[in-house]
Chain A
Amino acid sequence: MLQSLSFRDRQSEVRIARSRVFVAVALMILLLVALLARLAYLQVVRHSHYTTLSQDNRVKIVPVAPTRGLIFSRDGVLLADNRPSFRLQVVPERVEDMREALAKVATLIDLTSSDIERFQQLRKRKRSFDTVPLRFNLTEEEVARFSVDRHRFPGFEVTASLTRHYPVGAPLVHVVGYVGRIDEDDLKGLDPDNYTATTHIGKIGVEQYYEAMLHGRVGLDQVEVNSQGRTLRVLDSKPPGAGATIRLTIDTRLQAAAMRALGDRRGAVVAIVPNTGEILALVSTPAFDPNPFVNGISAALYGDLRDSPDRPLFNRALQAAYPPGSTLKPLMALAGLHYGLRSPADGTWCPGWFALDDDPHRYRCWNKWGHGRMTMHEAIAQSCDVYFYQLALDLGIDRMHDFLDLFGLGRRTRVDLPGEASGLNPSRAWKRKARDLPWFPGETLIAGIGQGFQTATPLQLAQATAVIAGRGTVIQPHVVSRIETADGKAITTAIKPRRVLADLDPKAWDDVIDAMHAVVQGPTGTARRSAAGAPYEYAGKTGTSQLFAIRQNEEIENEDIEERLRDHALFIAFAPFDRPEIALAVIVENGASGSGSAAPVARKVLDEYFLRMEHSRRAAQNG
């Protein structure tokens, strides 16, 4: 009985368990179907979506900065290159005790408190496995000292990167310019994609003007990263395209000679090849070393440059507009011939001054005793002001403006350098518009000797001189002769083709060029002293641009005037005078007299060109 009871119980217990297991299995199947459905949805239906997400997780695009193009001079001197510079950097996660490690490193490598401060700030913004720069521009000695002991400094490493360097430095800074760190203003005009990896950009000079060519094309590395962003390997790489190599028209020997000739005076020299417009030299003094600008110039050094009364940062050769003074006279003479107002033999009487009919003001000639009767030839050679007062009066300001305009005065030359000033070639219309005043006849007179409103940059003067030398061949000055891309292709620069002022009588050029020859190599020429003994024949014209208005009847010699108020000295020249190879303009600020200060500078530049460069060129041809 008991047994049968327990047997029945056992049966019912098994039945209960069976039914409950059945329910459990049914439930499990339901849940499993739900799991598998969800798995299938994720892995089959949405597979491509999640594949994309997982790719985005792991693959990052890392831009690689291109190598900046090199800049060479006409004579093959490297003017801008990329030098390996050594920097000390740290991977913080590999340094156990940063304070102690920095103290130890400081015994080998000079670390200033600002280095350490910058390092600590950069470190905060980076991840612990990122490298953080500690010191830039290590000296070779520091690199050597560190290398010997480097095993003592886990996490510290010296790495080489490329830094822009200007081997020639100051003498070419106003042509080549420099690069600096990209700032917010630079960012506005940049293609953000191409500059993602770039830290520096051309700030002035060729570096700025040809930025697009020099920069190159950014490379892209596709890298695999882990969840902390650490790069594990490069999956694909599109290497950067190096910037183009640029060859300048500048000859470093001529440039250096001009620098030497100007010495420590403020001034500018521009030398151009007539017929082509190639700029052989473009000097502005004082100059400055561009190298400190590359990696951030110190505030103190920059302050000195900015605040110096000599304004070294100012590119006088193309940013400064000076009254051309008497260097305008050859152009005036050409205008007189062109408009038929003068023949070469026509004479003007110079009593030492000139006066308008209804004006008591006496317009002085530089020679207060008077030159007597002056032909055009004599008036140019001796720089007689009265001759040109009368000529200006006969021409009138508007004809003067139109004629000078043909030579590029008052208009930018469109040289391939940034920041060029336009100078001013005045006219009635200009004065009405700019000053809302009528034109006065006295203003025509002083414009006739290159004073007053008339201004020109040294570059414009050199261009105008080249037009005379080339007998009416108008050229566009330029500093870049050739651009070679990294794959060997040459890009031609956009230089305006030269143009000839055909409606001028060839005889007129001869007359004026002869007179300019007489300025330097004639018996009475104003610049004859500076030309003494020159074994080549050249033509020129002195000029003085007044800064200080001399009151009527006052006798003041330049020597008595404070140095910075003295007149600027100018000189234009080209040589050889019959087959010109070089045309130049020289300005010496506060040099007092064109013949005394500027003409000797031109002579030294020409000597360099004809005696040394020509000599070595011939030697090269013969040997």
Chain B
Amino acid sequence: MDEPRSVWQRVHVDPWLLLGLLVLCAIGLAVLYSASGEDRAMVIRQGTRMLMGLAVMVIFAQFPPAFFSRLSPLLYVAGVILLIILNYHGTGRGAHRWLDLGFMRFQPSEIMKIAVPLVCARLIAAGSLPPTLPRLLLAAVLILLPAILIAEQPDLGTGALIGVAGAVVLFLAGLRWRYIAGIAVVGLASLIPLWTMMHDYQRQRLLTLLDPEVDPLGTGYHIIQSVIAVGSGGLFGKGWLHGTQSRLEFLPERHTDFIFAVLCEEFGFIGAATLIAVYCAVIWRGLAIALAAQDSFGRLLAGSIALTLFVYVFVNVGMVIGQLPVVGVPLPFVSYGGTAAVTLMAGFGILMSIHTHRRRLSLSL
């Protein structure tokens, strides 16, 4: 039973996850180099952030899962307070998404991406499974409060993703199907008041999805140009650094939210499918870690982190290929952007922590 601990386990790093993430980062930097118009400085900045992210991941992995469980209420409360402050005193382009701390600008919604699944997992794991109704209602409040605050900023995409991260915890905890059905009905019914509450541009984005040609130079422009980039890539793509849609700047947001279109244009269907396969491998590893976890907290949290990654990828790719509305969701590890990548890495650090702090008697994977 007593198995010698591997080097990886001693440094609390999961080699398979690490490999998958490094491959994603490498693909991301290569595509970014092309999407940015061969801007080395930008690639170096992004690479530095990724190294920072990897460092954060390794540091997080050193703490046992119980540490994160204990920390979660504090993290959650701090995040909510920051969000409330932000909604009155934030800075940022149009939307109040940034908090200026003087030495750095900071998005409290990034904290919530981790704090919400953490606090949910702790809450649900503390009771019996499947969770009881009072616990579920409390969890619903804990999920919806930050989600609505963030959606109000307005950042509908991030708000929805944080909601999903919490909901995944409840789903994995065995949320009864009848509740799921009830939530689905309530959710559909609430679409109507939601529609009336939405900002004009959010509504426009949804409408444009249905028919991009309605507004080919306005909101439809993103989708039309993105789909042209994807479609013109063909099976094998136009070649690295040879995508005309991105290099000639027809493709908007090409180094951030629409970077997947650059990949599709330059590497074709083969490249796109390869990237998706790497994501699947990482998610698969994450789910395996969840199933091997020794307690409910680890299981729920690891499952949530892995499945949330899928949701990110699905929402971003769906947007780029014109199947989902244009919401500001970056492609994990590939899109250019600061805090999002670090947060994701922190999440994977926790995932590694869950896996490498198991007691010796556990089954090795």
What's the minimum C-beta distance from B316 to chain A, rounded to whole angstroms?
A: 10
Asked whether, in the complex, the Cβ of A54 is within 8 Å of the Cβ of B291, the reply is: no
Chain A contact residue count (CB 8 A cutoff) = 39
Q: Is A414 an interface residue (CB 8 A)?
A: no
Task: Name the residue on B nearest A46 (C-beta).
Answer: B231
Interface string of A7-44 (1 = CB under 8 A from B): 00100111011111100110010011011101110111
Q: Which of A45-69 contact B (CB under 8 A)?
A: 46-47, 49-51, 53-54, 57-58
Cα(A399)–Cα(B290), bound, Å: 120
What residue of chain A has the Cβ atom nearest to residue B318's Cβ? Answer: A35
0/1 string, B308-333, CB within 8 A of A gives 1? 00100010011001110000000000
B230 within 8 A of A: yes
Mark contacts of B268-308 with chain A using CB atoms, 8 A cut-off: 1 yes-contact digit, 0 otherwise: 11001100100010010001001100001001100100010
Chain B at the A interface: mostly helix, strand, loop or mixed? helix
Across the interface, A39 reaches (CB within 8 A) one of B228, B249, B264, B280, namely B264
In the complex, what distance in Å separates the CA atom of A35 from the CA atom of B264?
13
Complex-state Cα separation, A546 to B130, whole angstroms:
123
B231 touches A228 (CB 8 A): no
Chain B residues within 8 Å of A43, by CB: 230-231, 233-235, 264, 268-269, 272
Once the chains bind, are A16 and B129 in contact (CB under 8 Å)? yes
Shortest B222–chain A CB gap in Å is 12
Contact check, B273 vs A36: say whether CB atoms are below 8 A apart: yes
> In the complex, which residues 110-161 of chain B have their Cβ closer than 8 Å to any Cβ of chain A?
128-130
Per the bound structure, the CA–CA distance linking A46 and B321 in Å amounts to 13
Q: Are B231 and A49 interface neighbours, CB within 8 A?
A: yes
Interface: A105 (CB within 8 A): no
Residues of B within 8 A of A38 (CB): 321-323
Residues of B within 8 A of A25 (CB): 287
Asked if B21 is at the interface of the complex by the 8 Å CB criterion, the answer is no
- Kindly state whether residue A226 has any CB partner on chain B within 8 Å: yes
Give residues of chain A (81-136) contacting chain B, Cβ–Cβ below 8 Å.
Answer: none
Give the complex CA separation of A47 and B227 in angstroms.
11
- Label chain A's interface by main secondary structure: helix
| B163-203 near A? 1/0 per residue, CB < 8 Å | 00000100111100000000000000000000000000000
Please report the C-alpha to C-alpha distance between residue A72 and residue B307 in the assembled complex, in whole angstroms. 83
B31: interface (CB < 8 Å): no
User: Does A232 belong to the interface (CB within 8 Å)?
Assistant: yes
Across the interface, do B245 and A54 meet the contact criterion of CB distance under 8 Å? yes
Does residue A227 face the partner (Cβ distance < 8 Å to B)? yes
Query: For residue A9, which residues in chain B have a CB less than 8 angstroms away from its CB?
Result: 128-129
Alpha-carbon distance between A535 and B299 when the two chains are bound, in angstroms = 125
A25–B310 alpha-carbon span in the complex (Å): 10
Inter-chain contacts of B231 with A (CB < 8 A): 42-43, 46-47, 49-51, 53
> Which residue on B lies nearest to A57, using beta carbons?
B250
B244 at the interface (CB under 8 A from A): yes
Among residues of B, the one whose C-beta sits closest to the C-beta of A23 is: B171
Cβ contact within 8 Å between A36 and B244: no
User: Is B339 at the interface (CB under 8 A from chain A)?
Assistant: no
Chain A residues with CB below 8 A from B280, complex form: 28, 32
Among B168, B228, B299, the residue within 8 A (CB) of A54 is B228
Distance between Cα atoms of A35 and B269 in the complex (Å)? 11
In the complex formed, the residue of A with least CB distance to B247 is A226
**B241 close to A (CB within 8 Å):** no
**Is the beta-carbon distance between B290 and A17 smaller than 8 angstroms?**
yes
Docked complex Cα distance between A51 and B268 (Å): 12
Q: How far is the CB of A104 from chain B (nearest CB, A)?
A: 33
Does the CB pair B276–A36 fall under 8 Å?
A: yes
Q: Is A21's CB under 8 angstroms from B129's CB?
A: no
Chain B residues lying within 8 Å of A36, measured Cβ to Cβ, are 273, 276
Residues on the A chain within 8 Å of B225, using CB: 57
Instruction: Kindly report which residue of chain A lies nearest to residue B171, judged by CB atoms.
Output: A20
Q: Mark B216-234, 1 if CB is under 8 A from A, else 0.
A: 0000000001011111111
Interface residue total, chain B, C-beta cutoff 8 A: 46
Among A54, A57, A226, the one with the most B-chain Cβ atoms within 10 Å of its Cβ is A54
The answer to whether A28 and B283 have CB atoms under 8 Å apart is: yes
Bound-state Cα–Cα, A35 to B248, Å? 27
Bound CA–CA A569/B232 (angstroms): 79
* B314 and A31 contacting across the interface, CB-CB below 8 Å: yes
Contact: A39 with B230, CB < 8 Å?
A: yes
CA distance A277 to B229 in the complex (A): 67
Cβ contact within 8 Å between B291 and A17: yes
C-alpha spacing A31/B250, complex, angstroms:
29
Contact A225:B235 (CB < 8 A) given known A9-B128, A43-B264: no
Q: Indicate if the CB atoms of A226 and B248 lie closer than 8 Å.
A: yes
A32 and B228 alpha carbons, distance in the complex (Å): 21
A224 lies within 8 A of chain B by Cβ: yes
- Complex Cα gap A51–B237 (Å): 11
* Alpha-carbon separation in the docked complex, A20 to B306 (Å): 13
**CA separation between A227 and B252, bound complex, in Å?**
10
Residues of B within 8 A of A34 (CB): 323
B28 to chain A, nearest CB (A): 19
Q: Which of A495-551 contact B (CB under 8 A)?
A: none
Residue from A16, A50, A51 within 8 A of B174 (CB atoms):
A16
- Chain A's nearest CB lies how many Å from the CB of B293? 8
Whether the pair A12, B129 counts as a contact (CB closer than 8 A) is yes
Closest Cβ neighbor of A38 among chain B residues: B321
In the complex, A14 Cα to B300 Cα: how many Å?
Answer: 10
Flag if A44 contacts B234 (CB, 8 Å): yes
Do B244 and A39 have beta carbons less than 8 Å apart?
A: no
Enumerate chain B residues within 8 angstroms of A24, measured Cβ to Cβ: 168, 171-172, 287, 303, 307
Min Cβ gap B300→A in Å is 8
* CA A16 to CA B300, docked complex, whole Å: 11
Which of B228, B234, B248, B290 contacts A225 (CB under 8 A)?
B248
A35-B276, A58-B248, A58-B250 given. 15 additional CB < 8 A pairs? A21-B303, A24-B303, A28-B283, A28-B307, A32-B276, A34-B323, A43-B233, A46-B231, A47-B231, A47-B234, A47-B235, A51-B234, A54-B232, A58-B244, A227-B248
List, sorted by A's number, 9 A–B pairs whose CB atoms are closer than 8 Å.
A13-B296, A17-B300, A21-B290, A39-B264, A39-B269, A43-B231, A47-B235, A54-B228, A57-B250
**Which 9 residue pairs of A and B lie closest in terms of their CB atoms, listed nearest first?**
A50-B231, A16-B174, A54-B232, A226-B248, A42-B231, A43-B269, A227-B249, A50-B232, A47-B234
